[in-house]
Amino acid sequence: MGKSQLDAFWMPYTANRHFKANPRMIVGAEGAYYLTQDGRRVFDGLSGLWTTGAGHCRSEISNAVALQLNALDYSPAFQFGHPLAFSLADRLADMAPDSLNHVFFTNSGSECTDTATKIARAYWRLAGSPSKTKIIGRVKGYHGASWGGISFGGITANKKLWGQGVESDYLRHTMLPGNEFTRGLPQSGAELANELEELIMLHDASNIAAVIVEPIAGSAGVIVPPAGYLARLREICDRHDVLLIFDEVITAFGRIGDWFAASAFNVVPDILNVAKQITNGTFPLGAVILKDKIYTAFMESGGDSHNVELPHGYTYSSHPVACAAAMASLDILEREGLIDRVKQMAPMFETKVHQLKGTPYVKDIRNYGFAAGITLDPYPGEPTRRPMEVGLACWEKGFYVRFAGDTLQLGLPFITTEAEMDLIVNAIGDTLKS
């Protein structure tokens, strides 16, 4: 492929000039491996982009997608329905904890962020509190690239170019000095949640609609919440009539050895966002799962039944092919017990990844389930360079290790074997030593 042919595609979140000078082309995939254009097999250490835990090119999903494309390839998302959308919504409502019983479909995590926060603001307006509009995010949070995503997210690089976003404020992140190299949940730091009280004192609850957090922050490098932190956020939200939104775009459907972080940590939000793993990455689909009280508020204040209760949605909301892909993907997770497998093997992964402690440049290691973040000592003034160098060297050795900001990230496929864990951890260790 000539260089000029690479110029047309402006690649997302990619160093385009660097990539195009030395492209890393992926042309196939099977199980936990990619096939590259130069004929190599590369272990998929991030399950795509946290999407493909059940492994690549699962025939159960491609068959379901092909059948659906031949039976009903598209149906209008507004004013008409197709049965599979209702079945999938039912299934998600059954899986989700507590009274999270209603599902609004989107196509991505970013659209979930916009949808959840728009609904939160409208909910308070319906409840007679129209001034409750501010959304509280968290430093180092990632909620997508939409205006909502960059407004409520807390990663500097994603915010600095765009100017004024949607009104918001931020909790501090939960990486406490002294908690480096904690295995699983840090035991100290739950009091960081009290900062929400301070933000509420500052802005007043009458101006705050919702708090949005990732239960475990993914993109910023697998930041695991201190034990008790999420429960305390829940308590404070309850006390002040603020909705709690969990962004489970990475944590839902197995990544942390449970269906949801909400169930793993026994803290139930008012709104729970999912995407990515819901279709095993095969087809864009997101879902916003909401408590009864929210759905009911819209139905009850909708006026005459011919009125649209929520003027919001996307052309591809509840796309029939996406729904078919999701059904087949959830079937695989259930039938093969993959979520239990992650739970059973997580302690082994923890032990292996923490063996990198003491390796040159390793400043911190965090982990939960089949996710781990490794913070590296930066070159002076160039925090992102070393992770990129290590990630690219691992790619050459046959391992996809995600690099972003000052960290390396692992999000192993749920089907990873013990031997593969050893190989990828050793590849990182050897690269750092050399």
- Binder to ligand PXG among 285, 404, 410, 427 (CB under 6 A)? 404
Q: Which amino acid is at 58?
A: R
Residue 180 CB, shortest distance to ligand PXG, in Å, is: 20
- Binder to ligand PXG among 36, 101, 108, 282 (CB under 6 A)? 108
Pick the closer one to ligand PXG by CB: 33 or 283: 283
Q: In angstroms, rounded to a whole number, what is the distance separating the alpha carbons of residues 218 and 370?
A: 12
Q: Is 245 among the residues that bind ligand PXG (CB under 6 A)?
A: no
Q: In angstroms, rounded to a whole number, what is the distance separating the alpha carbons of residues 424 and 410?
A: 9
- Least Cα distance to 394 among 419, 371, 366, 423 occurs for 423
CA distances from 424 to 33, 36, 374, 390, 409 (A): 12, 18, 13, 12, 12
How many residues does the structure list for the chain? 434
Residue 220 CB, shortest distance to ligand PXG, in Å, is: 8
Pick the closer one to ligand PXG by CB: 101 or 107: 107
Site for ligand PXG in 202-231 (CB under 6 A): 214, 218-219
Q: In angstroms, rounded to a whole number, what is the distance separating the alpha carbons of residues 120 and 126?
A: 10
User: Can you state the angle between helices 338-354 and 320-335, rounded to 10 degrees?
Assistant: 70
Q: Is 148 among the residues that bind ligand PXG (CB under 6 A)?
A: no
Region of 120-128, 164-172, 247-255, 417-425 interacting with ligand PXG (CB under 6 A): 247-255
Site for ligand PXG in 263-322 (CB under 6 A): 275
Instruction: Tell me the residue ranges of DSSP E strands in 231-319.
Output: 243-247, 271-274, 286-291
Q: In angstroms, rounded to a whole number, what is the distance separating the alpha carbons of residues 150 and 170?
A: 12
Residue 218 CB, shortest distance to ligand PXG, in Å, is: 5
Site for ligand PXG in 114-143 (CB under 6 A): 142-143
Pick the closer one to ligand PXG by CB: 297 or 372: 372
Site for ligand PXG in 374-403 (CB under 6 A): 402
CA distances from 322 to 30, 36, 110, 259 (A): 21, 27, 17, 19
Kindly list the residues in this chain that would bind ligand PXG in the complex (CB under 6 A): 49-50, 108-110, 113, 142-144, 214, 218-219, 247, 249-250, 275, 402, 404, 409
